[in-house]
Amino acid sequence: MTAFAPAAPRRAIQDLPDELISQIAAGEVVERPASVVRELVDNALDAGATQITVRLLAGGVRLIAVEDDGCGIPREELPVALRRHATSKIRDLQELEHVGTMGFRGEALAAIASVSETSILSRLDGEDKAWLLEARSGELRPAPRNRGTTLEVKELFFSTPARRKFLKSDATELAHCIESVRRHALARPDVGFAIWHEGKLVEQWRAVPLAEGADRNEALARRLGDVLGDDFIANSIAVQRTSASSGITVYGRAGLPDAARSRPDQQYCYVNGRFVRDKVLTHAAKSAYEDVLHGHKQPIYALYVEMDPARVDVNVHPTKIEVRFRDSREVHQAIKHAVEDALAAPRAALLADAAQAPLTEANAPAAPASLGWQPSTSPVRAPMAPQVQYAMPLQEVAGHKVNDLQALWAPLREATPAPSAS
């Protein structure tokens, strides 16, 4: 067998069939069951849902059903919803450059339907019945349902067995699906979420009333506690800052330095309500800890960036999880300064207390240590005395040395109020 394959004979250039185009598009949009969950929950949120339920079988391979109480889809638009590049989210380039919805590309449902058995059941408010559309047959018939939409995706990748072989175990795929919903839940405390697997409730986060100002931050803290655990709240501090120069607002919670972890598994960044992975955001957040975190320690945080949609491009990748900023530097500075401000004030207060502590016998400078060497009477030159490192004892705050990271932040943690119970 040679290292290089022989040149293939020339073939005519021609249009690809629609089915193959959809399969190729699905390769970008639908990587695993969690990809389907993300797209369907995006649609439910865009429909104004206040309660979203996700039902799964076999980690989402056999069934993914997403139910919502949103506005619903009219009967005549159900077939259109499954067409490639069909959407209600945008109409022109101007709207694309100022997109404010989770979905907008108009390709997810068509891609999902090309690699699964998909159906849509939807009912508008005020109508006397819902309508069910089977994607593969195109059959449309009435069916019972309250207002909202249910999208069912069965036997994912049944038409592409090779793709199915790349999936992991049911438990692993389930974990990815839960993480996908978790990311949405952290962005929308005003929406309730429930996840069922094999008929059992595995996660549930009840809606928290969302208001402006302090009430919004309180609702967010309660949702963060529900999703990430009370320890996250106990080991973090609120972040709230609007840049005077750029107008970018950064809010959320940033972990205290001694809550850092060995893995970046509790780092969540959102831009205009959308979970994103971006090196600029990650670097900005970590750089705020550069004087207190060293080595491979990773801070914990949930940070939310609000900015002019025209200054961020979300149409970078079909998954919409990557973004491109018009001015990355101003976004970096906004995040770094917001986190630094949140952490600096209480830390500066503790260090100021340490500097002003009265000098006592306990914290007075120690006398220089004796060198333990006397001049030699020998005519031979005396040996050099060993080098001695002198150390000044640090002052103490509440009985703890200020270079003790756990003790330094303990008063702040105790003073941070926990979110009120719902």
Q: Could you report the per-residue pLDDT of 303-324, keeping only the tens digit for each?
A: 999 999 999 988 787 777 889 9
Residues 72-117 pLDDT 10s: 999 999 999 988 877 766 666 766 666 776 766 667 898 899 999 9
Q: What gap in Å lies between CA 353 and CA 279, rounded to an integer?
A: 37
Query: What's the pLDDT at 331?
Result: 97
Backbone angles phi, psi at 148, to 5 degrees: 130, -165
The lowest-confidence range among 80-89, 298-307, 341-350 is 341-350
What's the residue count for the chain? 422
Residue of 326, 322, 336 whose CA lies nearest to 284: 336
Q: What token pair was written down for 93?
A: 């380039």
Q: What gap in Å lies between CA 257 and CA 374, rounded to an integer?
A: 48
Query: What's the pLDDT at 360?
Result: 58
Q: What gap in Å lies between CA 260 and CA 72, rounded to an integer?
A: 43
Query: Which residue bears the tokens 């506005």?
Result: 71
Query: What's the pLDDT at 209?
Result: 79
Q: What gap in Å lies between CA 57 and CA 199, rounded to an integer?
A: 8
Average pLDDT over residues 17-29: 67
Query: What's the pLDDT at 28?
Result: 63
Q: What gap in Å lies between CA 292 and CA 253, rounded to an integer?
A: 17
Average pLDDT over residues 403-414: 56
**Contact 262/295 with Cβ under 8 angstroms?**
no
CA Rg value for the chain: 29
Local confidence band at 369 (pLDDT 50, 70, 90 cut-offs)? very low
Q: What gap in Å lies between CA 231 and CA 104, rounded to an integer?
A: 36
- By percentage, how much of the chain surpasses pLDDT 90? 57
Q: What token pair was written down for 257?
A: 């330095």
- Name the E strands within 226-376: 236-242, 249-255, 267-271, 274-275, 301-306, 312-313, 324-325
Query: What's the pLDDT at 67?
Result: 99
The answer, yes or no, to whether residue 383 has pLDDT greater than 80, is: no
Q: Which amino acid is at 90?
A: I
Query: What's the pLDDT at 213?
Result: 55
Q: What is the DSSP letter of 10?
A: P
Residue 292: CB atoms within 10 Å: 17
Local confidence band at 184 (pLDDT 50, 70, 90 cut-offs)? very high
Local confidence band at 392 (pLDDT 50, 70, 90 cut-offs)? very low
Backbone angles phi, psi at 29, to 5 degrees: -85, -40
The answer, yes or no, to whether residue 63 has pLDDT greater than 90, is: yes
Residues 211-250 pLDDT 10s: 655 567 889 999 999 999 999 999 999 999 999 999 999 9
Residue of 255, 251, 280 whose CA lies nearest to 267: 255
The lowest-confidence range among 66-75, 266-275, 397-406 is 397-406
Neighbouring residues of 191: CB distance < 8 A, sequence distance ≥ 6: 45, 49, 50, 51, 52, 184, 185, 207
Local confidence band at 394 (pLDDT 50, 70, 90 cut-offs)? very low
Q: What token pair was written down for 387?
A: 């080098």
Name the maximum alpha-carbon separation found in the chain.
114
The answer, yes or no, to whether residue 396 has pLDDT greater than 80, is: no
Domains of the chain: 18-205 (3.30.565.10), 214-347 (3.30.230.10)
Model-level pTM greater than 0.85? no
**Contact 292/257 with Cβ under 8 angstroms?**
yes
Average pLDDT over residues 255-278: 94
The lowest-confidence range among 163-177, 192-206, 341-355 is 341-355
Residues 128-172 pLDDT 10s: 999 999 999 999 999 999 999 999 999 999 888 888 889 999 999
The lowest-confidence range among 159-168, 183-192, 339-348 is 339-348
The answer, yes or no, to whether residue 366 has pLDDT greater than 60, is: no
The answer, yes or no, to whether residue 352 has pLDDT greater than 80, is: no
Local confidence band at 344 (pLDDT 50, 70, 90 cut-offs)? confident
The lowest-confidence range among 100-104, 195-199, 321-325, 331-335 is 100-104
Query: What's the pLDDT at 185?
Result: 98
Query: What's the pLDDT at 239?
Result: 96
